[in-house]
Amino acid sequence: MNRLKLIEEWIFKIISFIAAYSVVLILLYLLIVVFKKGISALSWEIVFSMPEGGYYFGGGGGILNAIVGSFYLSIGATVLAVIIGLPAALFINVQLIRLKRTQNTIRFFLDALWGIPSIVYGAFGFAAMLFLGLNASLLAGIITVALLITPILVRAFDEVLKTIPVELQEASFSLGSTRTETALKVLFKQGFAGFITALLLAFGRGIGDAASVLFTAGFTDNIPVTFDEPVATLPLSIFFQLSSPIEEVRQRAYAAAIVLTVIILIISVSARLLSKRYSKNSIK
Amino acid sequence: MLVNIWMRGGLYILLAIPVLIGVGLYWKAAPLLQHQSLISLLFSSKWFPMKGEFGFLPFIFSSVYVTILAFILSAPLCLFAAIYLTQFGKQRLLNFMLPVIDILAGIPSVVYGVWGVLVIVPLVADKVAPLFGTTSSGYSLLAGGIVLAVMCIPYMLNMLIEVFHTIPVGMKEASLSLGATHWEMVKHVIIRKGFPGIISAFGLGIAKAFGETIAVLMVVGNTMNITLSPLKSGYPLPALIANNYGEMMSIPDYDSALMFAALLLFVVILIINLFFRYFIHKTEKI
């Protein structure tokens, strides 16, 4: 009996050991494949030059339009998300501090919103775009991506604000400050590290998302100058180039995939470092 | 005062987003719903946009198929990996893995798609299909399922680790002190106590897989098929929407049909999400 028990223990320990390490290996393998395949096609020309004529049939040039376009779109969307999301997150944690039920209900809805796939946002963005009489453009793309990333920004920021002790707010109230002052000067300051993390998280999500901008941002070989011009994005550029029958163009898609992965890695690593650095100053 | 209005306004806009999406998509899908009953839309497999016949069954079937496949492939793996990382493995390994999982969860789906095209599609075409004595182009439901499974791993693993962390150490210690082996402790305490959380993590993983677009679109082949063979290609709902956005204006009712597909995804995924999030919120409070 006892021996059977130990054998079972041994078998399941091995199974879970294999599971844990195969997960690590699969994900490592993914990164290695993407990097190995694209590194030969990666060059300064691809990263820093605009596509020339016949680029999608193997002509010269690069994907600078998509890189810059992605940054434009994502920065715009993040700014919009901050304008809507930052006050909303503060509101949940200051004005509703006594209404635990309402707070939880709102969090519950935002969590559910987080799970809505980006293609739905894309389709809705497209419908809204037609309704408002816009064309596929930088502006329409920004609005759609902002809808997608605002719940993420709010929930991530809120997660940090939630941990700030209530006493800190009470101290601020007792000194005679209003709720708004408390929100901006105490809560925002204390949660600044969390805000940076949330910001970068949302930004990273915005830059990597393809399905939501498929209908709304259009695609172009130029860098947009005004808000009503279409804009190219990196994920779509990878997607389009990969579906080309020409081997050379596909090679560039692999190179572009490296660029996108590196951008995302930089964003997530710097989010971690920044949040560590800023959180040193806040009261625990 | 102004700031206060702004703060309140931000929250209201945020809470209005799901309502707006629901209403907006329904408004665009309404013309189709007038021409065809909901039952025939969902359960007919006649897809002739030119004749105005839209049966979504093949697309729904493909979506469900790849999602189930992804779930079967990833769920046990994630469960055991989470058990190992939180219960058996060293703390150092977990400390190293948590940020790695987080970062991997942020990798864009198009990169997973590139990986699928490079690795999984040739694997299915050259290794798996000959194994069963058939041929396949590799762009198949199986490839879609595998890529989705890999995408879901960081997402589900993250949630499972969180679930296992909420189980009080005292409970584990009580079980061990009564002479249970580590595995018995996992089986009778961790899994049982974490059961609602595990189910929720799986549910949310399924919802994510169901709505994933670009990565699946790149490897699944995109031809209509109702087949049980995972080596044939399929055409999931999100891929249908993404592939036809260009031409939908030229055929009457076609844009309605695609908006209906988006509405369907929205409703199904929102319901799954609300249900399992409610589960989580309930268990978090206890």
Report residue B159 as tokens: 């949630």
The pLDDT confidence band at residue B284, using thresholds 50, 70 and 90, is: low
Nearest to A19 among B4, B80, B210 (CB): B80
Nearest to A112 among B88, B102, B273 (CB): B273
Q: Which residues pair with B234 in a beta bridge?
A: B221
The pLDDT confidence band at residue B180, using thresholds 50, 70 and 90, is: confident
Residue A226, domain member (yes or no): yes
H helices of chain A, in order, are: 2-39, 44-48, 64-94, 100-114, 118-132, 138-161, 166-174, 179-181, 188-190, 192-208, 234-242, 247-279
Residue A240, domain member (yes or no): yes
Please check whether residues A107 and A16 belong to one and the same domain.
no
Please check whether residues A182 and A272 belong to one and the same domain.
yes
Which has the closest alpha carbon to A141: A234, A21, A26?
A234
Please check whether residues A203 and A268 belong to one and the same domain.
yes
Report residue B82 as tokens: 């989470």
Please check whether residues A134 and A252 belong to one and the same domain.
yes
Asked if A33 is an interface residue toward chain B (Cβ–Cβ < 8 A), one would say yes
DSSP label at residue B234: B
- Please give the Cα distance from A124 to A134 (Å, whole number): 13
Please check whether residues A174 and A217 belong to one and the same domain.
yes
Locate tokens 């949302």: which residue? A202
- The answer to whether the Cβ–Cβ distance between A205 and B106 falls below 8 Å is yes
Give pLDDT tens digits for A104-138: 888 888 888 888 888 899 888 888 888 888 777 88
Residue A284, domain member (yes or no): no
In total, how many domains does chain A have? 2
pLDDT of residue A59: 67
Locate tokens 């058996």: which residue? B88
What average pLDDT does range B50-55 have in this prediction? 74
What average pLDDT does range B175-198 have in this prediction? 84
Give pLDDT tens digits for B228-276: 777 778 888 888 888 877 666 667 677 788 888 888 889 988 888 888 8
Please check whether residues A64 and A203 belong to one and the same domain.
yes
pLDDT of residue B34: 79
- What are the b/e assignments for A137-151, b being 16+ CB within 10 Å? bbbbbbbbbbbbbbb
CA distance A118 to chain B (A): 8
The answer to whether the CB of A18 falls within 8 A of the CB of B89 is no
Per-block mean pLDDT, blocks of 10 residues, chain A (284 long): 79 87 86 85 75 69 82 91 87 78 83 85 86 82 90 87 81 82 79 84 87 80 78 85 81 87 89 73 52
Output B20 or B131, whichever has higher pLDDT. Answer: B20
pLDDT of residue B72: 92
- Please give the Cα distance from B191 to A13 (Å, whole number): 15
Locate tokens 């600044």: which residue? A192
ipTM of the complex: 0.88
- The answer to whether the Cβ–Cβ distance between B24 and A128 falls below 8 Å is yes
Please check whether residues A27 and A51 belong to one and the same domain.
no
Shortest CA distance from B81: residue in chain A: A20
The pLDDT confidence band at residue B38, using thresholds 50, 70 and 90, is: confident
pLDDT of residue A284: 46
User: Structural domain of residue A242, as residue ranges?
Assistant: 46-279
Tell me the residues of chain A between 139 and 178 that have a Cβ less than 8 Å away from chain B: 147, 150-151, 154
- Give Cβ neighbours of residue A57 (< 8 Å, ≥ 6 apart): A246, A249
Per-domain residue ranges of chain B: 57-285
- Please give the Cα distance from B263 to B54 (Å, whole number): 15
The pLDDT confidence band at residue B285, using thresholds 50, 70 and 90, is: low
Residue A156, domain member (yes or no): yes
Report the percent of chain B where pLDDT is more than 70.
96
- The answer to whether the Cβ–Cβ distance between B214 and A235 falls below 8 Å is yes
pLDDT of residue B71: 92
The answer to whether the CB of B101 falls within 8 A of the CB of B203 is no
The answer to whether the CB of A199 falls within 8 A of the CB of A105 is no
Please check whether residues A13 and A98 belong to one and the same domain.
no
CATH of the domain at A87: 1.10.3720.10
Do you know the residue count of chain B?
286
A131 interaction partners in chain B (CB closer than 8 Å):
24
Looking at CATH, the fold of the domain delimited by B57-285 is given as MetI-like fold (1.10.3720)
Please check whether residues A123 and A28 belong to one and the same domain.
no
Locate tokens 């715009």: which residue? A76
- Please give the Cα distance from B188 to A9 (Å, whole number): 13
Asked if B97 is an interface residue toward chain A (Cβ–Cβ < 8 A), one would say yes
Burial of A54 (0-12, 13-18, 19+ CB in 10 A): exposed
CA distance B54 to chain A (A): 18
Shortest CA distance from B25: residue in chain A: A124
CA distance B122 to chain A (A): 13
